[in-house]
Amino acid sequence: MTVELIRASTAEEPPAAERRPGRAERVLVVYCEGRGGEAALREGAALAAGGAELTVVTLAPKAKSLRCCKGGGAGPWNCAIDDAADDDLRTAHTLLGTIAPRASFKKLAGTPWPPLGEWSAKSGFDVAIVPRDRFTRGGGRIARELRGATTADVRLVG
């Protein structure tokens, strides 16, 4: 499994591809550990089995570094966040099974929050599948960010 780390300053726009109306060509799955993340992967895998290009992304929000050089600070926290995001992508790869070799896996990092909306808008996804945050209206921060920044059909699952 190859994981691509994307930072705000290095987000690149992919080459434009011809699209067929009414069909999901490019699918984004925002994966996080839990039932919602697994449901999002299942729906993404179903679309990928139909021929769509699948991208699985996990978010790695970083803490700002302290100005002083004393022990602790953001360094250990940021390392733990990176490790957790890598673990999430390995889990997603395993859960996708036979679809996994055809999918791409990305870790989106940013301080204090990864630029998911900006990156997904540049990437031109047709469908974005997001785990539902059952405690917030509209599906949570991730769904609101994607709806505000992209033209993708944002689907909440879980």
Amino acid making up residue 86: D
Asked whether residue 109 is assigned to any structural domain, the reply reads yes
Residue 111: DSSP 8-state: S
pLDDT digits (tens, 9 = 90+) for 122-138: 999 999 999 998 888 87
- The number of folded domains in the chain is 1
pTM value is 0.82
Domain contains 16:
no
How many other CB atoms are there within 10 angstroms of residue 100's CB atom? 18
Six-digit token pair at 60?
């790695």
Query: What CATH code is carried by the domain that includes residue 124?
Result: 3.40.50.620
Phi, psi of 107 (to 5 degrees): -110, 120
- Give residue 118's domain range: 3-7+24-64+72-157
- Asked if residue 116 is part of any domain, the answer here is yes
Q: In this structure, what token pair is assigned to residue 56?
A: 């699985």
140 part of a folded domain: yes
CA dist 78 and 72 (Å) reads: 11
- Token code pair at residue 40: 């999002």
pLDDT tens digits, 55-93: 999 999 999 877 665 666 788 889 999 999 999 999 999
Residue in the structure block whose two tokens are 């991208």: 55
Mean pLDDT score of the chain? 86
17 inside domain: no
